[in-house]
Amino acid sequence: MLVLPDRDAAEEAAEALGERFELDEDPQLIREALAGEDDAEDAQWLVVVEDPDGRLSAAELDDFAAEWDGWREEP
């Protein structure tokens, strides 16, 4: 799962992720509101990547997420 700062970054990253790593399924985008915040500006966006075969390395995903000022988290 990649955590990104805004929707635009998440949408761009999801598209690039599918192209760069040739994923079988499109990543899923999820808006995660920060605790106590209702404003859409105060949200992080999650890009959920399914990798049942373990083809993607943690280091590759860390570097990829950093390109959009994001980071990787384990679910």
Question: Which pTM was predicted?
Answer: 0.82
Domain count, the chain: 1
Q: What is the CA radius of gyration of the chain?
A: 12
Give the torsion through C-alpha atoms of 55, 61, 64, 68, to 10 deg: 140
Q: Provide the mean pLDDT of the chain.
A: 87
* Residue 54, amino acid: G
Three-class SS state of 7 = helix
At 22 the pLDDT is: 85
pLDDT tens digit sequence for 26-74: 899 999 876 555 555 557 899 999 888 888 999 999 999 999 999 999 8
How many whole angstroms separate alpha carbon 22 and alpha carbon 43?
28
pLDDT tens digit sequence for 28-39: 999 987 655 555
The CA-based angle 23-27-28, given to 5 degrees, is: 160
Range of the domain at 48: 2-72
Maximum distance among all Cα pairs of the chain, rounded to whole angstroms: 37
